[in-house]
Structure 1
């Protein structure tokens, strides 16, 4: 007798919620919280934020999880505060001091060094990072007392500017950088080069790929909306351990952004119903119109009011590479 496949638990929703991650909460904890709030079948995030960091954390549901790499490869913008005079083991406030100095830099000394930290630069990630060494995370090795040897890597910093100096002990910066860049390492290295040491005390991400601060929603707001739409339980149900269900997901779903929002830098192929049907079946379609490109390495197709496929354009035809068949 053939075994039936296990039915996926949750709602088959697709799209993005751009969370304003609160301080002290891990990225995976945020994913778990939103998956529970939305009762979603599938959920993930695009780009980890340290627990001490706040700001933009893109959360993907359903088909949007297939577009996560396009978000992670996008540029990211951070605003961060560096405290001079102390270097820590974690390059932030959680670690122990490993170097101190009474020297304090002025604005001109800081600005003179910033060009050294833009463009393609060589950077050693922090010891307390998610880098894998011999199959283990660097932060796990560091917490066990080992001193992981992390090789330097080339990363791209598109811009780095001094925003303000609230006092002699600290400075606020804004950086736009590419994938794999550690802002904590920038603070560490800048402090060393200035001869005064330094570590990050505040870190906030403001953009990731196509998503900006305008897209963000606080976690507390989502929780409040969910609670407003939960069923009311009587005392007997509460005493029995029953959990109130969300009766109407509509208000929560209004915060969901379409999956294709992550693909704004790619060429969009808009399909009619017949073409959409062909692409959903895995077939290529000939593009018509004088503005249609003959060749394009990466493109996405929309039809039936949603994202249909990722693919490429070759000799005037769209060839699907990954079809999106989910609902929502």
Structure 2
């Protein structure tokens, strides 16, 4: 049978799913590859992730399906928590174990010195982004310059280290826990701590344990996901509003729900039983408590920002 006579392979129907999968990403897989695998397992029509994890990193990677993709940006803005291990005494080209060693120094510090050095990185600090990063310069990612052997000027950026806790110190290896603001490079943090100790360092392991209010507690691996049947897999999906749990909640009556879903601004005094601070809120229908979307409370008004597609909309 010629190629033109071959029957086209039937397309596998895709499913319209709404929810959030808490994935425990494996070592060596990019975030995008993990997303593609999960999307294929679910046969989902629409999916996206909430910020990348390097292939070297493992741990929590929230994946959004359907309507949840509208709110993925909210997790990009959230604080992240990691457990990391750095190796003192060796600097590498990439700041982690994937790079080549470029500097080796003796490690003469002790645990007390490590703890003291780490304490100086709590709070607001300035980081210079690494060359091996996806940040762009003149439209080209920095890692492309780095692979070509070029180093370009990078401006320091302010980030916030909320928690920096020493977990284990078996020199030259140091394991620590860090909770940090968006835009923080844990590789760079490890390098900077190493420089503060006078011996240099690079990251050897990184595991993300928290994103905003989400944790690894209910996360599932790709292998475990593939072993489940369709109903069991669907049960592993968190509701769309799992991404929004840090926002105050507002419930609307039937009339206010219709107006909200048509993009109309509402007077807070008419819809909120309690006083709301200015800022973003999650909005629900009073009847059934279904999520309607996200709005911004400001100057006594509730202004819709992003809406969930519903039968009422």
TM over 0.5: yes
1:155 alignment partner in structure 2: 159
Quick one: distance in 1 between partners of 2:303 and 2:106? Answer: 62
Are 1:302 and 2:284 counterparts?
yes
Residue in structure 2 matching 1:81, options 71, 78, 85 = 85
Aligned length: 296
For 2:127, the equivalent position in structure 1 comes to 123
Q: Secondary structure at the match of 1:91?
A: coil
Q: Matched residues in 2 for 1:312 and 1:196: separation?
A: 48
Q: 1:108-146: per-residue Cα shift (whole Å, max 9, x none)? A: 111111222111101112211111111111112211222
Spell out, residue by residue over 1:73-100, the C-alpha distance to the aligned partner (whole angstroms, 9 max, x if none).
1111111011111100011111011100
1:37-186 equivalences in 2 (<5 Å): 37-165=41-169, 167-186=170-189
CA pair 47-294 structure 1, distance change in 2 beyond 3 A: closer
Cα 1:290–1:124 change in 2 (3 A) is: closer
Given the two structures, how large is their TM-score scaled by the length of structure 1?
Answer: 0.84
Which 10-residue stretch deviates more, 10-19 or 175-184?
Answer: 10-19
User: In structure 1, how many angstroms separate the alpha carbons of the residues matched to 2:163 and 2:23?
Assistant: 24
User: 1:86·1:199 contact (CA, 8 Å) conserved in 2?
Assistant: yes
Q: What SS does the aligned partner of 1:217 have?
A: coil
With 267-276 and 69-78 compared, the bigger mean Cα shift is at: 267-276
In structure 2, C-alpha distance between the alignment counterparts of 1:200 and 1:144, rounded to whole Å: 23
Asked if 1:16 corresponds to 2:23, the answer is: no
Contact 2:88 2:173 in 1 (8 A): yes
Partner of 1:204: 207
What residue number does 2:307 align with? Answer: 323
Whether contact under 8 Å (1:284, 1:320) holds in the other structure is yes
Residue 12 of structure 1 contacts residue 326 of structure 1 at CA under 8 Å; is this kept in 2? no
Offset of 1:107 from its aligned partner? 0.7
Answer yes or no: is the 8 Å Cα contact 2:250–2:272 preserved in 1.
no
What is the distance in 2 between the residues matched to 1:179 and 1:280? Answer: 31
Q: Partners of 1:273 and 1:254 in 2: how far apart?
A: 29
Which of 283, 288, 296 pairs up with 1:312?
296
Distance 1:200 1:184, change over 3 A: same
Cα distance change, pair 294–82 in 1 and its aligned pair in 2 (3 A) = closer
Q: Is the deviation greater in 209-218 or in 197-206? A: 209-218
C-alpha displacement of 1:168? 2.2
Distance 2:129 2:112 in 1: 27
Provide the rounded CA distance (Å) in 2 between the counterparts of 1:54 and 1:211: 15
- Consecutive unaligned residues in structure 2, runs of 5 or more: 1-12
User: What is the CA–CA distance in structure 2 between the aligned matches of 1:294 and 1:184, rounded to whole Å?
Assistant: 39
Contact 1:160/1:176 (CA < 8 Å) preserved in 2?
Answer: yes
CA 1:290–1:121: 2 relative to 1, 3 Å: closer
1:217 aligns with 2:217: no
CA apart distance, 1:194: 0.8
User: Do 1:129 and 1:138's aligned partners in 2 also have CA atoms closer than 8 Å?
Assistant: yes
Q: Deviations over 1:215-274 (max 9, x none)?
A: 31111111111xxx4xxxxxxxxxxxxxxxxxxx32211111111111112111123444
**Superposed displacement of residue 33, structure 1:** 1.1
Q: What are the superposed Cα offsets for residues 18-59 of structure 1, whole Å, 9 maximum, x if unpaired?
A: 110000000011111111111222111112111010001111
The answer (yes or no) to whether the contact 1:71–1:210 under 8 Å persists in 2 is no
Q: CA RMSD in A?
A: 2.0
| TM-score after normalising by structure 2 | 0.88
